[in-house]
Chain A
Amino acid sequence: MALQSLDIKNQSARTSSPPSARSTLEVAKLIDVSRCIGCKACQSACMEWNDLRDAVGVQEGFYTSPPDLSDQSWTLMRFNELELDGAFRWLILKDGCMHCEDPGCLKACPAPGAVVQYANGIVDFHEEQCIGCGYCIAGCPFDIPRLSAKDSKVYKCTLCSDRVAVGLEPACIKACPTQALSFGSKAEMLFQAEHRLDDLRERGFGKAAVYDPQGVKGTHVVYVLPHGDRPEAYGLPADPRVGEVLRLWRSSAARTIGVITMFGVLVAGLLHYMRHGPLEVPADAGQGGEGKP
Chain B
Amino acid sequence: MSPRDGDLILRHTNATRVAHWAVAIAFTFLFLSGLALFSPFFFWLSALFGGGPLMRFIHPLAGVALVLTFFPYALGHLADNRWLPADRQWVAHLFAYMRKDHSDVGETAKYNAGQKLMFWSMVPIIAVLAVTGVALWQPWFAPAFPAAVRRAAGLVHAICAFVMFVGIGIHVYAAIWTKGAVDAMIRGTVTRAWARFHHPAWYRQMTGKGTR
Binding site for B on A (CB under 8 A): 13-15, 108, 110-112, 129-135, 137-140, 143, 147, 149, 152, 243, 245-246, 248-249, 255-256, 258-259, 261-262, 265-266, 269, 272-273, 276-282, 285-286, 288-290, 292-293
Contact = CB atoms under 8 A, between A and B. Distances in A.
A278 B177 contact: yes
A246 B136 contact: no
B198 A281 contact: yes
B18 interface: no
Contacts, number: 145
* Residue among A130, A256, A273, A280 having the largest count of chain B Cβ atoms under 10 Å: A280
B169 A134 contact: no
B197 A292 contact: yes
B210 interface: yes
B205 to A, nearest CB: 15
Interface string B148-191: 10111011001000100110011001001111100000000001
Given A258-B38, A292-B196, A292-B212, A281 B180 contact: yes
Contact of A272 (B148, B155, B177): B177
Contacts of B57: 132, 152
19 contacts: A110-B43, A131-B46, A131-B56, A134-B136, A140-B147, A152-B138, A245-B148, A245-B152, A258-B158, A259-B38, A261-B166, A273-B176, A273-B177, A276-B99, A279-B177, A281-B179, A281-B197, A286-B193, A292-B211
A135 B154 CA distance: 9
A44 B38 CA distance: 40
Contact of B212 (A130, A278, A290): A290
Given A15-B40, A134-B142, A243 B151 contact: yes
A131 B55 contact: yes
Given A108-B151, A132-B138, A265-B170, 18 more contacts: A14-B40, A15-B41, A112-B40, A131-B53, A133-B37, A135-B136, A138-B142, A139-B151, A143-B147, A147-B139, A152-B139, A248-B155, A258-B39, A259-B38, A265-B173, A269-B170, A272-B98, A281-B179
B72 interface: no
A281 B194 contact: yes
Nearest to A261: B166
B198 to A, nearest CB: 7
The B interface, classified by DSSP as helix, strand, loop or mixed, is helix
A245 to B, nearest CB: 5
B8 to A, nearest CB: 13
Nearest to A111: B52
Interface in B188-209: 191-194, 196-198, 200, 209
A174 B180 CA distance: 75
A132 B56 contact: yes
A68 B143 CA distance: 14
Nearest to B102: A293
B6 interface: yes
A42 to B, nearest CB: 26
B178 A249 contact: no
B42 interface: yes
Nearest to B44: A112
B100 interface: yes
B136 A133 contact: yes
* Residue among B103, B191, B197 having the largest count of chain A Cβ atoms under 10 Å: B197
Given A112-B40, A292-B212, A249 B155 contact: yes
B39 A289 contact: no
B106 to A, nearest CB: 12
Contact of B37 (A110, A248, A279): A110
Contacts of B99: 276
Nearest to B103: A293
Interface in B86-106: 98-100, 102-103
B117 to A, nearest CB: 16
6 residue pairs, one from A and one from B, having the closest CB atoms? A131-B52, A13-B40, A134-B138, A249-B155, A138-B150, A269-B173
B197 A246 contact: no
